[in-house]
């Protein structure tokens, strides 16, 4: 099992939006970074744990816990010319972009970015590195445990 932090904009799809969905799951569409795509395509498995992170908002931070509920499959938005995520180089025979399905397991206390940055135990966390813009990053198991146990008061 692996651990991930996945960013979403709450104005597009926030944790409450997913919790209101049947099955409490959502396709993680629209990723257009090759490294983040490769994480989904090559490394994510059903059951992997996720820190559900709200970004591009004030304040940004972790809003809850989730898990991968379906392995990578082609992102349909790449084929839609009306979509902001359309990719004219993608084809059904050779898709360029994928998504996974994510299921919310728990809405937690909101943990703002500033609080994450203030924790010495998280000093090496990839998401907190200067210049990091990836929407999906791996999380070290020790970081996962610290966030869940110490900051959320939840069982990892």
Q: pLDDT tens digits for 108-144?
A: 999 999 999 999 999 999 999 988 889 999 999 999 9
Query: What's the total number of domains in the chain?
Result: 1
Residues 6+ apart with CB under 8 A from 85: 29, 30, 32, 75, 77, 78, 97
Note the pTM of the prediction, 2 decimals: 0.95
Q: pLDDT of 23-56, one tens digit each? A: 999 999 999 999 999 999 999 999 999 999 999 9
In this model, does residue 156 exceed pLDDT 80? no
**Three-state SS sequence of 10-43:** HHHHCHHHHHCCHHHEEECCCCCCHHHHHHHHHH
CATH code of residue 65:
3.10.590.10
Domain that holds residue 119: 3-152
Share of the chain above pLDDT 90, in %: 94
């Amino acid at each position: 099992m692996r651990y991930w932090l996945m960013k979403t904009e709450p104005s597009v799809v926030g944790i409450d939006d997913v919790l209101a969905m049947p099955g409490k799951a959502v396709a993680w569409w629209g990723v257009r970074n090759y490294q983040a795509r490769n994480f989904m395509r090559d490394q994510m498995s059903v059951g992997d744990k996720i820190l559900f992170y709200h970004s591009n908002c004030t304040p940004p931070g972790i809003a809850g816990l989730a898990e991968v509920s379906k392995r990578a499959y082609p992102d349909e938005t790449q084929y839609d010319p009306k979509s902001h995520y359309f990719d004219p180089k993608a084809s059904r025979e050779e898709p360029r972009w994928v998504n996974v399905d994510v299921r919310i397991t728990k809405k937690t206390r909101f943990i703002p970015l500033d609080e994450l940055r203030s924790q010495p135990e998280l000093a090496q966390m990839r998401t907190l590195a200067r210049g990091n813009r990836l929407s999906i990053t791996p999380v070290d198991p020790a970081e996962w445990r610290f966030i869940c146990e110490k900051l959320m008061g939840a069982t990892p």
